[in-house]
Structure 1
Amino acid sequence: MYILAMSAPEKTGSDALDALKNKVSQSTEALKQLIPAQPFVWSEPTPNFHSYAIAYLPLNKNGKCRRQSQITSDFASLEASGRVEAIRLFSTDCKVIPAYLDYLKKRDSKKRSVETSLKLVLGIEPSALEPSSGLDSEASSLELLTKSVDSQLMDIIDSLDESPSATEAFLRQLDLVVLGSEGLANQNYHPKELVQVLAHIRQRLDTLSSDIRIPVTTSEPLGIWDVLTPKERRDNVQDMLARKNGAKSLTAEDIEGPTGVFCDSVDVIGLSVSPYNNPNIDAAHAGSEVEESAYLASLLCNKPVLAMEVGWPSAGSDNGNAKSGKDEQLQAVSSITAAIERVSGKRLRSVLYQYFDDEWLSEDEDFARHYGLKRLF
C-alpha cells in the first residue's frame, strides 16, 4: 500500500541515516548537496483573513490534553471566525492529528469546500541532546534527532487511512513543516545537524508523495539567522543589524560548517519575533518591530519570511514601554497583522501566538501565561 512506502523508524531509520552520512560531510560543499534545486514560491496571502495562522496548544487549564472532540470543535470555531488560514501545531502530542482529520471529515460530510478549510502548519520537535547525555559523537546526536523526527512522522502516518487518496488529501492540507522551535538559540543541537535533519525530513515527505512539494523551515530569532549568514550578506545590513538584540549565543566553531547553506536549507525563513521583549516598543508599534525584523531577515537570506509566534500578553508585568493588558493586546495584534513586507509591499505573513492562555504555567512565568487570543476570535 502507498502508505507503507514510509516504514517504521526501527526498520528504515538507520538506513536513511546511513544514506545521509554517506552523502554529507562536515564541509559546506557537501552540505550544499542537500539543498533543493528549485526555490519555493509562496502563493499570495489571502487578503480577507486576519492573520495567516495562529499557534495552538491542545492543553486545558491544568496542562493536560484536551479531548479529541474539544480539539475538533476548536478547529471548527477557528475556521468559523474567518480570521486565520491555518493552525500552527508544535508537535503531534495529545492526538492532535486525529482531531484535525476528524475536523476535516466533519466538514466533508457537510460538503463544505476544501478551499475554506484550515490548513496545517505542522511542528516537529527534534529531541534535544544535552552534553550530559553521555553521547560524545556527532553521529550519535544526529541519529537521535533523526529517529525522533521519524517517530513523530509515524504518529501522523498511523492516523491516516491506509490509502493513497487519504494520504494525498492530508498532504494537500499541509501548508508548511516547521522543524524545531528556537532549538539553535537554546543550543539543543548544532546548525550542521539541523541542516541534515531538514534534508532528512524532505526525503521522508517526498517518499509520501513526489507530486506535492511541502515547504520546510525552522523557527529561530533574527540573531541566529544573522550569525548563520555568509559574511558578504551580513556586511550589507551590518548597521541595521547592530540595532537589533538577537540571540547570538553560538560561537564561530558552532557555525563553521553550514554558514553558507543555512538560509538555502529552508524554503521560507521562520522568524521567531517577540516584540514584547523589547522594552522600547509599545503596543501600537509592535507591528513595526515585526516588520523591521522580517525586513532584515529577508535581506540576509533573500527568501520569503514568516513571522512566527508573534503575540502580546493581556496581563502580567510590564516591560518598559511594553505594557500588558487586554486593550494593549488588541492594539498590538492589530498592528502586527497590518505589517507589510518592505521589499514587496505585500502583507507580511505571521503566526499569532496563541489561541489559549497558558494557565497551567506557574505564577512565576508572569506575562508568559497570558498570550491567549481566543476572546478576539
Structure 2
Amino acid sequence: MKASIVAAAAAMVAGVSARAHGHRHAHRMLERRDSDETCGCTTIYSTIYGTDFTIIPGPTSSFTPAEVPTPTGAVEVPTPIAQTCPTPGTYTFPATTVVVTETTTVCAPSTTEVPSGTHTLGGVTTVVTTATTVVCPVATTETQDGTVTSVIKTTTFVCPEPGTYTIAPITTVVPTPTTVVVPVVTTICPGTYTAPEITTTITATNTVIYCPFTSVGAPEPTAEPTSAPQEPQEPQEPQEPPKNEPAPNLGGGKRWAMTYTPFREDGTCKTAAEVDSDVAAIASAGFSTLRVYSTDCDTLPNVGAACRTYGLRLIVGIFIGAPGCENGNPTVASQLDALKNWDGWDLVDLCVVGNEALFNGFCSVQQLTDLIQRTKTELANVGYTGPYTTTDVVSAWENNDVSGLCSVIDVVACNAHAYFNSATRPADAGKFVAGQLSIVERICNKPGYILETGWPTAGKCYGVACPGVNEQAEAIHSIEDEVGSKAVFFSFRDDPWKQPGDCGCERSWGCAQVFGV
C-alpha cells in the first residue's frame, strides 16, 4: 500500500511553517538496573494495526504495512489518524480533538520509509559502559488468529559487556521501497490535542495519509517525571576522536558557537538592525561562530553582514521541516537557490544539510545522502569548497545503516541535550554530551561536533534533570568546560513563538544570560 504523511497539520496549528528549527526528541523509557528491582512497567494497552500483515515464523518476520486506525483500548490517545484515499481526487478530513487527563503509555505506530531488502527496525537502543542487566518496556507484536497486535511488554536484557545494544527490534523484509509501520513505546502527557481540518489533493490510488495531532493546551508540568524521554545513560567519559582523518578547521575556545534564528517573539522576522544588535551581543560574549538553520527571513544577507562586521564565522544550513527531502522538494530547492545566490562564502566554516531529518522521518538515509551530494555539487560551482555534514540525535545515527551517509560528509555531528536524560544532573551535563559525541565519532570514524546542546529554564523534570535558571547555568558551564570547543549552544534567546511541547520546555532554551548578555 502506498503511504504518504501530511505534516502540514502540525504546522498549521503552530502557525510557524518551516521555522520549527529545533527541536524534537526521542521519548523512550529505559532504565539501567543493577539489582532485582523492576522498572514498574507491564503490558498497558494493545493497539490493533490491521489484519493484512503476513507473519513468517522464525527469527525474521515479513509484513506489508496496513492502515493504522486510531488506537483502541481503555484510553483514547492522539496517535496519527490514518485516512484512506481509494481514488484520485480532493479530500477534506475534519478536525479531531482528543483530551488526555493523565499520563498514558501506549504502543503507538511509527512510520518510516525503507528501500527494498531486510531491515531491523524499532526496539530500544541503549549504551552501557559495563556489564549490566537492563529492565525496560519494549514495543513488539503478537499474532493470534491472523491478527497482528502491538503490545508493550517488560523485558529483561543482559548486556554481557560494554557496548551498544538494541533490545527487541523487529526484522522486516520488503520487496520494493515501502513505508512500514513499527510499534514504538510512546508516553502521552496530559493535555488537549488537535488534528486540524486538512484538505489535500491526491493523484494516486490507495493512498493513506497520516494526520498528526498537535498539543494545543496542557496543564502545568508536575515536579516529578512520569517517564524518561531518552535512554537514561550514566554520563560517559569522552574517548579520543578518530585519528585517521584530519579535522577541518572548526571549533576552538570554550565558547565556539551559538545557534541563532532571526525571529521576534511573535515569530515575525527581525530587521537587519535587530539582527545586527543580536550578533554584536553574541560576539561580546566571546563566541567566534554562529549557526543558522536555513535561509528564511533574509538570514544570509542580514546575519552574514553582521558576522562580517563583528568578526564572526558562520555555519549555514538547509532545513528540512516536513517529509520529503528528495532533490525536487520545493522548500529545499528554494533554500539551495538562496545559498547559490549569496556571495558570503568566505565567512562559512561548515554547511549542515538537515537537522534531525532522519529521527523525524523526513528523509531516508539514501535521500539525505543524495541531497548532500547534490548540494556539494551545486555550491562548489559558486565557490564553497568547505566541509559538509548533517546533524541528528545519537539514536538516529545508531539505528540506521549510515555507511553511505558517512562517506559523503566531512565531519559527523549530533544534537545532544542532557536534559532529556533522566539520569543526568545539570552538573553532569558536560560529561553526558561528551559521551554522546564520542559515540557518533566512532560510528562514522570522523571528527565530530555537537551542533545543538543546552538546558531549558522552564518545563517539567525528567528524573534528576530539572529545568531552571540556576540549573541552566550549572549545565551550560559544565558543557562549556567539557566540550565547549566543539559544541554549538542552543539557543541565543527564548522562542515564545514555538509550541511548548510535551516537555513544556520548547520555548525556554535561551541561554544568553548565562554568558552575560
Normalising to structure 2: TM-score of the pair?
0.50
Is residue 127–residue 144 contact of structure 1 (8 Å, CA) maintained in 2? no
Distance 1:125 1:363, change over 3 A: closer
Work out whether 1:125 is the aligned partner of 2:319.
yes
On the 8 A contact 2:356/2:392 being kept in 1, the answer is yes
2:287 maps to 1:92 = no
Cα distance between partner residues in 2 of 1:334 and 1:353: 13
Change (3 A) 1:319 1:127: closer
SS of match in other structure, 2:267: coil
1:171 is aligned to 2:345: yes
Find the counterpart in structure 2 of residue 249 from structure 1: none
Aligned pairs for 1:10-25 (under 5 A) are none
Matched with 2:487 is 350
Partner of 2:332: 149
The match for 1:72 is 276
Structure 1 residue 277, shift from structure 2 partner: 0.5
Shift of 1:172: 1.9
SS in 1 for 2:506: helix
- Verify: 1:41 aligned to 2:247, yes or no: yes
The alpha-carbon deviation at position 149 of structure 1 amounts to 3.3
Alignment of 1:268-283 (within 5 A): 268-283=411-426
Contact between 2:495 and 2:506, CA under 8 Å: does it hold in 1?
A: yes
CA-based RMSD of the aligned residues comes to 2.4
Specify whether residues 203 and 362 from structure 1 end up closer, same or farther in structure 2 by C-alpha distance, changes over 3 A only. closer
What does residue 243 of structure 1 align with?
none
Check if 1:312 corresponds to 2:455: yes
SS of 1:154 mapped into structure 2:
helix
Query: Quick one: structure 1 residues 323 and 266, their matched pair in 2 at CA, closer, same or farther if it must change by over 3 Å?
Result: same
Q: Give the counterpart letter for 2:348 in structure 1.
A: L
User: 1:227 maps to which residue?
Assistant: 399
Alignment match, 1:367? 505
Q: 1:299 to 1:64 in 2, by over 3 A?
A: same
Tell me what 1:216 maps to. Answer: 388
Q: Secondary structure at the match of 1:120?
A: strand
Ranges in structure 1 where 5+ consecutive residues have no aligned partner: 1-24, 28-37, 108-116, 131-140, 161-166, 230-258, 341-346
Q: Is the 8 A contact 1:228 1:262 kept in 2?
A: no
Q: Match of 2:266, SS?
A: coil
> What is the alpha-carbon distance in structure 1 between the residues aligned to residue 403 and residue 411 of structure 2?
16
- Contact preservation (8 Å) 1:40, 1:267: no
Report deviation, 1:58: 1.1
Aligned pairs for 1:179-328 within 5 A: 179-209=353-383, 213-229=385-401, 259-328=402-471
Segments of 5+ residues of structure 2 without an aligned counterpart are 1-114, 118-243
Q: Percent identity?
A: 26
Q: Which protein has the larger Cα radius of gyration, Structure 1 or Structure 2?
A: 2
Query: What's the CA shift string for 1:16-41, capped at 9, x where partnerless?
Result: xxxxxxxxx999xxxxxxxxxx9663
Q: Which residue identity is paired with 1:215?
A: P
* C-alpha deviation, 1:214, in angstroms: 1.3
Q: Kindly provide the amino acid, as one letter, of the partner of residue 281 in structure 2.
A: S
> Which structure has the highest strand share of the two?
2
CA shift in 2, pair 1:150/1:322, >3 Å: same
Q: Give distance in 2, aligned partners of 1:126 and 1:223.
A: 18
Q: Matched residue of 2:316: which SS? A: strand
Q: Which residue of 2 aligns with 1:329?
A: 472
Cα offset, 1:315, TM superposition: 2.0
- How many angstroms does 1:96 deviate by? 1.6
2:252–2:485: 8 Å Cα contact kept in structure 1? no
Pair 1:311–1:105, CA change in 2 (3 A): closer
Cα 1:105/1:41, change in 2 over 3 Å: closer
The separation in 2 between residues aligned to 1:199 and 1:85, in whole angstroms, is 28
Report the Cα offset of residue 316 of structure 1.
2.2
Structure-2 separation of matches of 1:106 and 1:276: 35
Residues 39-65 of structure 1: CA deviation (Å, up to 9, x unaligned): 663236433xx3221111211111211
Secondary structure of the equivalent of 2:288?
Answer: strand
After TM superposition, give the deviation of residue 338 of structure 1 in Å. Answer: 1.6
Q: Does the CA-based 8 Å contact 1:306-1:348 persist in structure 2?
A: no
Task: Tell me how many residue pairs correspond in the alignment.
Answer: 274
Supply the distance in 2 between the matched residues of 1:197 and 1:362 (Cα, whole angstroms): 29
Matching of residue 101 in structure 1 with residue 304 in structure 2: yes
Greater share of helix residues, 1 or 2? 1
Question: What is the match of residue 51 of structure 1?
Answer: 255
* Whole-angstrom distance in 1 between the partners of 2:459 and 2:340: 40
What is the alpha-carbon distance in structure 2 between the residues aligned to residue 215 and residue 26 of structure 1? 31
User: Take 2:326 and 2:501, find their aligned partners in 1: how far apart are those partners?
Assistant: 35
Q: Distance in 2 between matches of 1:104 and 1:329?
A: 27
Residue 199 to residue 171, structure 1, CA distance change in 2 (3 Å): same
Q: 2 CA distance for matches of 1:127 and 1:144?
A: 15
Looking at structure 1, the residues matched to 307 and 451 of structure 2 have their Cα atoms a distance apart, in angstroms, of: 25
Q: Deviations over 1:122-153 (max 9, x none)?
A: 121246336xxxxxxxxxx62423x5433213
Give the corresponding residue for 1:61.
265
Tell me if the contact between 1:68 and 1:96 (Cα under 8 Å) persists in the aligned partners.
Answer: no
The 8 Å contact of residues 255 and 485 in structure 2, kept in 1 or not, is answered as no
1:210-258, Cα deviation, whole Å (9 max, x unpaired): xx521111111111211335xxxxxxxxxxxxxxxxxxxxxxxxxxxxx
Q: CA deviation at 1:328?
A: 0.8
Question: Which residue in the other structure is 2:92 paired with?
Answer: none
Could you tell me whether the CA contact under 8 Å between 1:124 and 1:149 is conserved in 2? yes
Assess if the C-alpha contact under 8 Å between 1:26 and 1:192 holds in 2.
Answer: no
